Structure 1
Amino acid sequence: MRDFAGLADLIEGIVGFEHGANISPEGLDKGYTHAVTITFASQAFRDAYLDHVAHLAFVARLKPWLDEVLVFDYGI
């Protein structure tokens, strides 16, 4: 997670980064064990992040270790 959090130092527009393991007792996690939330200054910064070389390199390193990923965006 340090590498993921470090993206905030490399990519402009990341204003928040949180992560953690699932601790819900409800059993509704569908097998997901961890969550990451990244807050961007704007949708434009989010869009730039998606194609940023540092993000793409991180995804390439992490992808072999993941069974599945769930991504969704919402406005705040």
Structure 2
Amino acid sequence: MIQHCVFMRLKAAVTPAEKQSLFEAVAALKQVIPGILDVKYGPNVSPEGLHGGFVDGFIVTFDSLEARDGYLVHPQHVAVGERIVSSSDGGLAGLLVFDLNA
């Protein structure tokens, strides 16, 4: 299994409704992209204060590396990814992606 973790530093102008819409768009990918086992999303709830401004995120769990690789190039993921990048403070600099082999 692969856990694809994405942490976001969203623009201050992004409303709670827009943020929820982004998360729902990521979760909806489970219905169209093979190999997605689970999607979790939400705010950082760590009390440590070490978030570096990345206060929202999501984790997509895949059944294999191949499924993750297919997701990365899937047109619907690309479209959702573009929405996320445009909503992030600094574009790509407002994202942190970390994949774990679980």
What TM bracket, shorter-length normalisation? Answer: over 0.9
Larger relative contact order (Cα-Cα within 8 Å, sequence gap ≥ 6)? 2
Deviation at 1:2, TM superposition (A): 0.9
* Counterpart-to-counterpart distance in 1, 2:44 and 2:96: 14
Would you say 1:20 and 2:23 are equivalent positions? no
Q: Give the deviation of 1:35 after TM superposition.
A: 1.8
Determine if the alignment matches structure 1 residue 71 to structure 2 residue 97. yes
Q: Report how many residues are paired.
A: 76
What 5-or-longer segments of structure 2 have no aligned partner? 1-22
Runs (5+) with no aligned partner, structure 1: none
Compute the TM-score of the two structures, normalised by the length of structure 2.
0.71
State the partner residue of 1:44: 66
Query: Which protein is richer in strand relative to its size?
Result: 2
RMSD (CA atoms): 0.9
* Superposition TM-score, scaled by structure 1 size: 0.93
Superposition deviation, residue 66 in structure 1: 0.4
Q: What is the rounded CA distance, in whole Å, between the counterparts of 1:11 and 1:30 in structure 2?
A: 31
Letter in 2 for 1:63: V
The 2-side partners of 1:32 and 1:21 are apart by 9
Q: Which runs of 4+ in 1 moved over 3 A?
A: none
Percent identity, aligned pairs only, is 38
